[in-house]
Amino acid sequence: MIQQTSITGEQFSQSSLQTYLDCKQAYKLRYIDQLTWPSIQVDPQLENEKQQVEGIFFHKLIHQYLLGIPQASIDSQVLNNPSSNIKDWWTNFIFAINSNMLDLSNYSHKFPEILLTQSFGRSKLVAKYDLIAVREDKIHIFDWKTNTKKPDHLAYEQKIQTILYMEVLAGSGFANRFIKNFQLSDIQMTYWFSNFPNQSINISYGEDKHRAAIAEISSLIREIEADTLYPKTDNFRRCAGCVYRSYCSRGIKAGFEADLTEEEWNDQYPAFEEDDLFSDF
């Protein structure tokens, strides 16, 4: 997890920026006060923890696959795992690869679980990618999602994760090492959903999106730097799924995942964060 002891000059990830957008008070409690969460996120707690563990395990399976570990060895791990979700997700992943629904071929370089940073004024942007794949005319971000809710293209295109990931890749200088005469339009991003394997979301980049990303991220960081009040969200439904709700006197009882919209149910608060995975690698 990216921690902050102060605001100005610090680093920002998609998780920290998304938390601020969702609830400024949650951002303060988590990234400035660095408080641990006293409340479970959703009921049933064991089911939520199970989903987190499964998500981490599935990401590790794909990581091994991309590192060239023999598939038979990975298949054995899947078969020995009691989770039916893991078996279904892995089956969907391999089918998507073999059927070219998820095209990872024709890339000269693949960089799974890679961390990139970009200086951004007085601050630093940090992004950890599930996979960056490179060929001579394209640099492609892939992100694996285990969401149980059907993906919405517009929502994902507007996500701060999308904006940050594409901008950090553009601004870090990483692409220039592999693509001669690199252009922003060479960047693409794909979200692949293990529960919806044929509904990938593909997003392109370019000059217009680059300018919009700079403006949006700059504005958001300026707002964070200037904030002294960190008000609570007006969306009380979101509080039902927030692990900090007892600090805010907004309840003790957890909400149910089924009662929350996809916007309200996201990965900002759980212990499992996709951009923090595999910190020990």
pLDDT of residue 47: 58
pLDDT of residue 139: 98
**189 with 205: CB under 8 angstroms?**
yes
β-partners of residue 201 are: 191
Closest listed residue to residue 98, CA positions, set 71, 64, 136, 78: 71
Rounded to an integer, what distance in angstroms lies between the CA atom of residue 166 and that of residue 221?
Answer: 17
Closest listed residue to residue 27, CA positions, set 252, 277, 253, 247: 247
Into which CATH architecture does domain 11-276 fall? Alpha-Beta Complex (3.90)
Show the beta-strand stretches assigned E in 73-195: 109-120, 123-135, 138-145, 187-193
**231 with 223: CB under 8 angstroms?**
no
Rounded to an integer, what distance in angstroms lies between the CA atom of residue 204 and that of residue 208?
Answer: 11
Q: What is the 3-state secondary structure (H, E, C) of 164-182?
A: HHHHHHHHCCCHHHCCCCC
What does the pLDDT profile of the chain (281 residues) look like in tens digits? Answer: 333 333 445 899 999 999 999 999 999 999 999 887 665 554 444 555 677 789 999 999 999 999 999 999 999 999 999 999 999 999 999 999 999 999 998 999 999 999 999 999 999 999 999 999 999 999 999 999 998 888 999 999 999 999 999 999 999 999 999 999 999 999 999 999 999 999 999 999 999 999 999 999 999 999 999 999 999 999 887 777 677 877 887 755 544 444 444 444 444 343 334 444 333 22
Rounded to an integer, what distance in angstroms lies between the CA atom of residue 162 and that of residue 240?
Answer: 26
pLDDT of residue 281: 26
